[in-house]
Amino acid sequence: MPTMSKRMASIYAKILEVAYIYINFLSKEFRVLNLRSTQQREVKKRQYKKPDVAPPRTHKMATDQDWTAVWPGPRSFHPASVPLPIRQGYAEKGTAPSKLANAELMKIPNFLHLTPPAIKQQCEALKKFCTSWPKGLETAEKWKNHFPVDIVTTDHCQALPTIRNPEARRVTLSLKLTDLKFDAHARDKFLRLIGERYNRDTDLVTIVTDRCPLRKQNYEYAMYLLTACYHESFVTEPWEATKSEADMEYYHYYRNKSKESVEAILNWGKTPKTEDEKLKATNGFISSLEQLINEGENEYNLNKYKEEVIKMLNISGKVK
């Protein structure tokens, strides 16, 4: 028995020792094997704080502010700078998207920098570089006398990636034929050179150029065509002197044999001594005859020719 009690006592002692070690292990942190000589410190993660977003600028804008200071020049659309409820785009349901984060408004060009106050302010700044209006150009009639050539161009505004439009290169030049000085030969040749570009009702010569890619090039080409046709009309080729009456492009009274026939009828039975004493056709008869032959027979030309013949021959009676 004594021996058994000693054995049990030793077992209990070992159990108590193990329990004591286990309790001490639980009460302390687990030791880390550190192979470095320096001690490791705990690193805390840095916390980032988001800044407060300021309210849109439109909430602080005054109703009487200077808009030219807000939007002085051309730029892309910015929703926080425009105090207007603008919408742009398409939505399958509901209204169009608002101006906030709207790519459609940023893609297209805007004219917010060309408001009436901004234009007035820019004009006032440019006045010091301008000269007074020249004297002698107070009316449109005086303008036409000094500047007979009209140049018409067109600018296009479009919502495309490029502001250039192919139609903007077209240049239209127009002027009245009476503003150009011609003789009979030059006038006829000039009209034949320009062809359908001349309007007889308005007496306007119109030249449209769009062959070149740039507007300036088309303008210079139109001026070249006008200058070349004008100077070419005064050139007389050697073969033109050998043309007979049948080769003429149009009827001319003074170079036709009908002039001799008309004067012979008017001077029938008379013997004038000098050329000045001969009876000659009136200007009205000559113009009506040329118009009848060159333009063709119609009711107006025939009646006009009939009236002039009766006047020239001094035939009494009522014209029917």
Provide the residue range defining the domain that includes 102. Answer: 68-88+96-122
Residue 130 domain-assigned?
Answer: no
User: Would you give the DSSP letter of residue 257?
Assistant: T
Tell whether 177 and 213 lie within a shared domain.
yes
Residue 165 domain-assigned?
Answer: yes
Tell whether 166 and 194 lie within a shared domain.
yes
Residue 273 domain-assigned?
Answer: yes
Residue 181 domain-assigned?
Answer: yes
Residue 265 CA, chain-centre distance (Å), reads 64
Question: Which alpha helices (H) appear in the chain, and where do they start and end?
Answer: 2-27, 67-70, 103-107, 116-126, 140-146, 184-194, 215-232, 258-266, 283-295, 299-313
Last residue of a domain, one of 242, 260, 294: 242
Max Cα distance, the chain (Å): 195
Tell whether 227 and 255 lie within a shared domain.
no
Tell whether 182 and 216 lie within a shared domain.
yes
Indicate left, alpha or beta for 290 from its phi (over 0: left) and psi (-120 to 50: alpha).
Answer: alpha
Tell whether 236 and 284 lie within a shared domain.
no
Half-sphere exposure of 15 (CA within 13 A, CB side): 6
Question: Residue 230 sits in a domain of what CATH number?
Answer: 3.30.160.20
What is the chain's pLDDT, residue by residue, as a tens digit (320 residues)? 445 577 777 777 778 777 767 666 655 565 666 666 566 667 677 888 888 888 888 888 888 889 999 999 999 999 999 998 999 998 888 889 999 889 999 988 899 999 999 999 999 999 999 998 888 888 888 888 889 999 999 998 877 777 788 889 999 999 999 999 998 889 989 998 999 999 988 999 999 999 999 999 999 999 999 999 999 999 998 888 777 777 777 777 877 778 878 888 888 877 777 777 777 888 888 888 888 888 888 888 888 888 888 888 877 655 44
CA distance 127 to 120: 11
Q: How many domains does the chain have?
A: 3
Q: Which residues pair with 174 in a beta bridge?
A: 150, 206
